[in-house]
Amino acid sequence: MKESAYWWDIDEKLFPIGERPPPKKSDFVVVGGGYTGLSAGLTLARQGKSVVVIDSGKPGFGASTRNGGICSGQIRLSHSALTKIYGVSFADEAYAEGIEARLDLTKFCNEENIDCQFQMTGRFTGAMSKGDYDLQLKETDRLNNIDGHKAFMVSKHNQGKEIATDLFYGGMVRDEIGGFHPGKFFAGLLKRAEEAGVIVISDLPVLEIKNEKEGKKIVITAKGQISAGKVIIATNAYTGTEYKVGKFLRKRLVPAKSAIIVTENLGVDYVKKLMPKLRMYGDTSNLYSYFRPTPDRKRILLGSRGFDKIEVTNRTVNYLKRKLCLIFPELFNVKIDYCWQGNVGFTRPQLPVIFEHDEIFYAAGYAGSGTVWARWLGKKAAEIAMGTSNRKSIFYASPPQSIPFYDGNPWFLPIYQYYFAFKDWIKINR
Ligand SMILES: Cc1cc2nc3c(=O)[nH]c(=O)nc-3n(C[C@H](O)[C@H](O)[C@H](O)COP(=O)(O)OP(=O)(O)OC[C@H]3O[C@@H](n4cnc5c(N)ncnc54)[C@H](O)[C@@H]3O)c2cc1C
């Protein structure tokens, strides 16, 4: 088994950027070279700005080439939960922006000729209980009132047409969701950003940002400093506790581990037998699984919570394999060829955010749905920072609240996870 991402085994060069010294000055400095940072950089460069995107490691080596590739523009809270907290017009707008952002991603891939195996498959989310099915039914009605949503329910009786499992009590299909190859998308985005003139620098931690005169910033890196007109922070769930630059964000963002396995080559026919419509998939557990065929439809990829602090261990592999076999018991003897993990960023309200603090712009907190949100909010952050945005995002607001007794080390996560695991166990064993 390879302890590396399945998406890294491609012909395109994923991490080709060499180390290079930072320039002395730039209109914009973007800290973090994942989808958010590169999307911001590309947007700025296309408006004629000089831009440096700096990553402390290899750009893309954070979440942006480790994800499951499900392109949903999902909001973590259901429409009804969002309505209860913020009112119906906020919920409608947030869900409508999810559709807009997802459509913009497909348009971007088409117009920029990025061959990332985008497949408009729809997504089936299996209900783990009868109660969950009833909630999904109500949610379906709400979603279909918002332009662009195409949701419908599949009963347990008809479930076999969607997925060969007895685990679920039926489920919800959202036809407007799809999936892509995260590595190929990242390689395409990076290429377009460099072609537009973005200077991308790898292996250079940004340490601190200080105020210069006339509203400018001094970006201090391990190899010198840059005088920047404006700064965008795009470090998301990799903000880390080691550098001063992340101090404000890390008190407001919880990085949770998510891990993924990919099976051995099962062949297209076998995958199709298990997943007849070859969709993206998920379930309604608290510690949910997300799963899908790989873009060549020969293997199955499944992700869920991770356990390990750094590298994956047998505990993670066994946990994910158990989850896979709960859905498809016949895969018990199948080999796992890949396992890896990465960080997913959550704000306290579990909503994505763009905000400004001390004249620095931030975009983060996509709660496991960043394939759509990171590119979109990176672009929005750039437009807002340039002052060219005629329609900002519903998520552009004051900074989210900080989390009490927290400075970037999520010591409380295991407690939540045990609690949710217990609730899920009750659901399955009832
Ligand atoms: C296992 C896993 C599965 C996922 N599955 C899905 C999915 O199926 N669908 C979906 O929509 N989303 C999914 N996501 C989420 C999605 O991948 C992320 O939301 C998205 O990639 C975030 O992009 P980003 O550019 O904001 O952050 P990242 O790609 O994480 O980039 C942040 C970068 O900041 C850099 N950095 C940090 N500190 C510094 C510093 N001081 N100086 C310079 N650089 C710094 C890091 O090195 C890193 O490269 C998943 C995530 C994970 C981990």
**CATH number of the domain encompassing residue 192:** 3.50.50.60
Residue nearest to atom 10 of ligand 1 (CA): 369
Residue 208 placed within a domain: yes
Percent of the chain at pLDDT > 70 equals 99
pLDDT digits (tens, 9 = 90+) for 397-415: 999 999 998 988 888 888 8
pLDDT at residue 372 greater than cutoff 90: yes
First to last CA, the chain: 35
Residue 341 placed within a domain: no
Structural domain tally of the chain?
Answer: 1
Residue 353 placed within a domain: yes
- Dist CA 238 CA 63 (whole Å): 8
In the prediction, which pLDDT does 309 show?
77
Q: Tell me the β-bridge partners of 201.
A: 54
Instruction: Tell which atom from ligand 1 comes closest to the C-alpha of 245.
Output: 41
Provide mean pLDDT across the span 25-45.
Answer: 98
In the prediction, which pLDDT does 318 show?
96
CA distances from 396 to 74, 130, 368, 384, 385 (A): 17, 37, 19, 9, 11
**pLDDT band of 390, cuts 50, 70, 90:** confident
pLDDT digits (tens, 9 = 90+) for 142-166: 999 999 999 999 999 999 999 999 9
3-state DSSP assignment of residue 336: strand
Provide mean pLDDT across the span 252-274.
Answer: 97
Instruction: Tell which atom from ligand 1 comes closest to the C-alpha of 370.
Output: 19
- Dist CA 128 CA 428 (whole Å): 7
Region of poorest pLDDT, from 184-198, 271-285, 296-310, 372-386:
296-310
Residue 272 placed within a domain: no
In the prediction, which pLDDT does 382 show?
98
Pocket of ligand 1 (CB under 6 A): 31-37, 54-57, 59, 61-64, 66-70, 72, 205-206, 234-240, 243, 245, 258, 260, 290, 303, 341-344, 366, 368-372, 374
pLDDT digits (tens, 9 = 90+) for 86-118: 999 999 999 999 999 999 999 999 999 999 999
For ligand 1, the distance from its centroid to the CA atom of residue 269, given in whole angstroms, is 33
pLDDT at residue 72 greater than cutoff 80: yes
Residue 169 placed within a domain: no
In the prediction, which pLDDT does 421 show?
82
In the prediction, which pLDDT does 425 show?
84
Instruction: Tell which atom from ligand 1 comes closest to the C-alpha of 292.
Output: 8
**pLDDT band of 3, cuts 50, 70, 90:** very high
Instruction: Tell which atom from ligand 1 comes closest to the C-alpha of 371.
Output: 11
Q: Checking DSSP bridges between strand 360-364 and strand 290-293, what pairing results, if any?
A: unpaired
Tell me the H-state helices in 25-129: 35-46, 79-86, 88-111
**pLDDT band of 69, cuts 50, 70, 90:** very high
Residue nearest to atom 9 of ligand 1 (CA): 70
pLDDT digits (tens, 9 = 90+) for 161-182: 999 999 999 999 999 999 999 9
CB-neighbour burial class of residue 337 (10 A; exposed 0-12, middle 13-18, buried 19+):
middle
Identity at 344, one-letter amino acid code: V
For ligand 1, the distance from its centroid to the CA atom of residue 144, given in whole angstroms, is 30
**pLDDT band of 16, cuts 50, 70, 90:** low
Provide mean pLDDT across the span 50-64.
Answer: 96
Provide mean pLDDT across the span 72-82.
Answer: 95
For ligand 1, the distance from its centroid to the CA atom of residue 57, given in whole angstroms, is 12
Provide mean pLDDT across the span 47-60.
Answer: 96
For residue 357, the enclosing domain spans: 6-66+184-253+348-409
Residue 122 placed within a domain: no
pLDDT digits (tens, 9 = 90+) for 206-232: 999 999 988 899 999 989 999 999 999
Which of 338, 366, 376, 395 is the pocket-test mutation for ligand 1 (most atoms within 8 Å of CB)?
Answer: 366
Residue 296 placed within a domain: no
pLDDT digits (tens, 9 = 90+) for 317-370: 999 999 999 999 999 999 999 999 999 999 999 999 999 999 999 999 999 999
pLDDT at residue 18 greater than cutoff 90: no
Residue nearest to atom 38 of ligand 1 (CA): 239
79-86 vs 130-144: helix crossing angle, rounded to 10:
70
In the prediction, which pLDDT does 11 show?
81
In the prediction, which pLDDT does 115 show?
95
For ligand 1, the distance from its centroid to the CA atom of residue 300, given in whole angstroms, is 22
For ligand 1, the distance from its centroid to the CA atom of residue 161, given in whole angstroms, is 34
Residue 97 placed within a domain: no
pLDDT at residue 127 greater than cutoff 80: yes
pLDDT at residue 299 greater than cutoff 70: yes
- Provide φ and ψ at 88, rounded to 5°: -70, -30
For ligand 1, the distance from its centroid to the CA atom of residue 22, given in whole angstroms, is 23
In the prediction, which pLDDT does 17 show?
67
